[in-house]
Amino acid sequence: MHDVARHAGVSVATASHVPNATRPVRPATRGAVSGPCPHSATRLIRRPAPSSPPAPAPDP
């Protein structure tokens, strides 16, 4: 998260609020945090959350 924040030019706290949606973040700031970054942490942040859990497998 530190690398993402440094790359986006924001604090670690602000970078953390983007994926966690714990506080409002300006659209430009959200884009800077979620935008292209060479670090793998950004790929984790940009991955959409599943909309619902997978259905259980049927009994054989």
pTM score, whole prediction: 0.55
Per-residue model confidence (pLDDT) at position 41: 56
Cα 43 to Cα 36, 40, 47: the distances in Å are: 9, 5, 6
Instruction: Count how many Cα atoms sit within 13 Å of the Cα of residue 49 in the half-sphere of its side chain.
Output: 6
Per-residue model confidence (pLDDT) at position 31: 85
Per-residue model confidence (pLDDT) at position 21: 86
Per-residue model confidence (pLDDT) at position 13: 92
List per-residue pLDDT tens for the chain, 60 residues long.
888 888 888 999 998 888 888 889 898 888 888 876 555 555 555 555 556 666 677 776
Q: Where are the domains of the chain?
A: 2-46
Per-residue model confidence (pLDDT) at position 43: 55
